[in-house]
Amino acid sequence: MARTRSGVALIGVAIACSLSLAAPGEAQEPRLQGRVPEPTRSAINVILDNAHAAGLPTEPLVDRALEGVAKGADPDRILAAVRRLSGELHSAFDALGPRSSAAEIVAGASAIRAGARAEDLAYLRELRADQPLTVATATLADLVAVGVPTDTAVAAVIALAEEADDAQYIAFRRNVERDIALGASPVTALGVRLEAAADFANRSLPQRPRPRKP
Amino acid sequence: MTERDDGLKQAIELLKRPVSLDSSFDERVMKNLESVRRPRTWTRSLWTVADWMSTGRTLTVSPLQGLGLVAGLAALLFVGRMWLMPESAISPERAAAIGETALVQFVIVAPTAESVSLVGDFNDWRASETPLRRVEDNGVWSVSVPLSAGRYRYAFLVDGATWLSDPSAPPALDDEFGRPGSVLTIGEL
Amino acid sequence: MRGSLGMFDMKGQSDGILVRRVLEGDTAAYAGLITRYRDRLARYATRMLGNSADAEDALQDAFVRGYRYLARCTDPERFGAWLFGILVNRCRTLGSQRARRQRLIIDDQAALERASVSHSEGDEALRDAIEHAVAQLQPDQREAFLLKYVEEMSYQEMKQLTGARISALKMRVARARQELRQLLAEVDDD
């Protein structure tokens, strides 16, 4: 049962859906009504309010809830999924800056889900300040999704950041995917495509500085 | 150096003598700079390639690829030009300008299906809102959907019961709710 | 580095000041940096690549990259050292490109004559011989030798510049000295 701030108790889910009064400052997402049961729906609405207040897009959060409903998931699981995404959207927004578009923030959240750090996104923003980061960060997430280890995917996306346009990012990712589908290991596939991408005469530089663990 | 290195010492002294270039060199470089993108001031902390690469990242590489990959990455981080050949094959990815949509075609081969629908972020995950049309008798199904810029999770629902991911698209990072899914990103123009 | 590629106060404007001016949009300030480091870089590039045409290419490249990536120079007061690293890298690239085209390394007489070096008649032949000998060294040995003795770097500085282990660098320097001793002895015998 849901209680509005005015303290009126509402009986039954169906009645609650049709009679619920939105208290000042608490929005009700109409698309959740009739599909997400209480109390989950109210909890999600709180998350939506917070996201909205922080300047984040709320669409993706609603979509995630509806996905859970469509796939027959438990309300608890749906709520957890929405919470998790909300955190990732917050992180992406912090990293990408106040002028980020909704699409950039969503793609950035995927990159964070894939294991990228906030500073990676911030660095990408520096390298590619004059273009949207949507495709670059999406590429990062998509590479991880096909098995490339996170740090390797991050390194690849950053390496391409200054020179590749969006179409080239997509082509790069598709080439890697295809190589994997043909049997290459993800890292090998990525390494091959990365070398192919470089207009660089001498690739056998001896002992370049290697990344080190702290 | 020892005595017998007098020859070497002499050689080094000669090698240390200055070399001058053409006096127009400076001008030529400045002229070149006109077509180079201006360096941007950093508003956040200054990262060099070396800084970034030393922040405790682990590049997971196979032994054989290790050196090549690191060298390749280090090289790329320094390179001024590179080119990638976009595939000529039809790519589902599109870009859309603000307020506009791109038409995206979704295709799946499901020869034994009675019905296939597209379910995802763009139709509020409503199972029957976007049915696919059977294109050929060999089991190809298709639908085209206008999408604005963004990132969309979706899947195919076969006969109202079986969830299938799109083999031509990247998989969703997490299946999140225990079912396969795919992701499509529409870039911004 | 010995301070000669650091705070070199030519026009009363340190590297750091000039770099900051460029980053703020005053591209013309970069000319000051070019003038400041051109000859020093030219010496290394010419010795490393063996002729002035290639050296100029490498230098152009290095300066253009130095400009383009200027924001990534974390210590603007040591711009020169940072730029030198870029140059060493360009010389390697150019060197290997050349090797693949299988060009003979020849003495570039014209370039040597353009070089503003005052010398006696006898010196010239010797200088030619030395430069020819240096040109015959393996690239990594030549690079290490030049960095150590001509640029007077410490092994630590060389390691930072090239990424190579200090033991490897010492080995290259030692081999370069052996080779050069040999080659120069042959010259004396003529």
| Pairwise pLDDT comparison (A197 vs A128), residue with the higher score | A128
Quick check: B62 and A188 in contact, CB under 8 A? yes
Contacts of C140 in chain A (CB under 8 A): 206
Residues C165 and C90 in one domain: no
Q: What is the mean pLDDT of chain A?
A: 79
Exposed/middle/buried for C106, CB within 10 Å: 0-12, 13-18, 19+?
Answer: exposed
Q: What is the pLDDT of residue A57?
A: 87
The radius of gyration of chain B from alpha carbons, rounded to an integer in Å, stands at 29
pLDDT at C33 over 90: yes
Residues C145 and C68 in one domain: no
Share of chain C above pLDDT 90, in %: 32
Q: Stretch B153-173: mean pLDDT, rounded?
A: 93
Q: What is the pLDDT of residue A77?
A: 96
d(CA B10, CA A69): 83
Residues C29 and C64 in one domain: yes
| Pairwise pLDDT comparison (A145 vs A162), residue with the higher score | A145
Domain span including residue C3 = 1-116
CB-based contact, C141 to chain A, within 8 Å: no
Quick check: C178 and C136 in contact, CB under 8 A? no
**Contact check, Cβ <8 Å, B33/C23:** no
Start-to-end CA distance of chain A, whole Å, equals 51
d(CA A26, CA B114): 44
**Contact check, Cβ <8 Å, C131/B15:** yes
| Pairwise pLDDT comparison (A213 vs A39), residue with the higher score | A39
Residues C100 and C9 in one domain: yes
d(CA C72, CA B46): 7
Pairing of strands B150-158, B133-134: unpaired
- The C residues from 72 to 131 touching A (CB cutoff 8 Å) are 92-93, 95-97, 100
Residues C12 and C78 in one domain: yes
d(CA C161, CA C149): 15
What does the pLDDT look like over A101-138, one tens digit per residue?
Answer: 889 999 999 999 999 998 899 889 888 877 889 999 99
**Contact check, Cβ <8 Å, B78/C117:** no
Choose the mutation target among B151, B173, B174 for the interface with A, i.e. most A CBs under 10 Å: B151
d(CA A161, CA A157): 6
pLDDT level of residue A61 (50, 70, 90 thresholds): very high
| Pairwise pLDDT comparison (A130 vs C55), residue with the higher score | C55
Residues C151 and C106 in one domain: no
Domain end: C116, C138, C166, which one? C116
Q: What is the pLDDT of residue B119?
A: 97
Least confident of A18-32, B133-147, C69-83: A18-32
Domain end: C76, C93, C116, which one? C116
Residues C73 and C129 in one domain: no
d(CA B64, CA B75): 18
| Pairwise pLDDT comparison (A60 vs B31), residue with the higher score | A60
Q: What is the pLDDT of residue B93?
A: 65
Cα distances (Å, whole numbers) of residue B154 to A44, A195, B13, B130: 21, 33, 71, 11
CB-based contact, A5 to chain B, within 8 Å: no
Q: What is the pLDDT of residue B182?
A: 95
Residues C99 and C175 in one domain: no
What does the pLDDT look like over C125-151, one tens digit per residue?
Answer: 888 889 889 999 988 899 999 999 999
Residues C7 and C93 in one domain: yes
Residues C64 and C130 in one domain: no
pLDDT at A152 over 60: yes
Domain end: C70, C94, C116, which one? C116
pLDDT at B15 over 70: yes
Q: CATH number, domain at C181?
A: 1.10.10.10
Nearest CB neighbour to B177, from listed A68, A160, A197: A68
Q: Which residue has the tokens 């400076």?
A: B26
- The B residues from 82 to 141 touching A (CB cutoff 8 Å) are 82-87, 91, 93, 95, 119-121, 124-127
What does the pLDDT look like over C158-190, one tens digit per residue?
Answer: 988 877 788 889 999 999 999 998 888 876 654
| Subunits with 3+ C-beta pairs closer than 8 A to C | A, B
Least confident of A37-51, A53-67, A150-164: A150-164
Residues C18 and C107 in one domain: yes
Q: What are the backbone dihedrals phi and psi of residue B147, each rounded to the nearest 5 degrees, phi first?
A: -130, 140
- E strand or H helix at B95: strand B95-96
pLDDT at A67 over 90: yes
Range from B92-96, C6-10, C97-101 that averages highest in pLDDT: B92-96
CB-based contact, C168 to chain A, within 8 Å: yes
Residues C137 and C88 in one domain: no
pLDDT level of residue C114 (50, 70, 90 thresholds): very low
The number of folded domains in chain C is 2
Q: What is the pLDDT of residue A54?
A: 78
Q: What is the pLDDT of residue C187?
A: 67
Q: What domains appear along chain B, each with residue ranges and CATH number?
A: 95-188 (2.60.40.10)
Q: CATH number, domain at C37?
A: 1.10.1740.10
Quick check: C69 and B39 in contact, CB under 8 A? yes
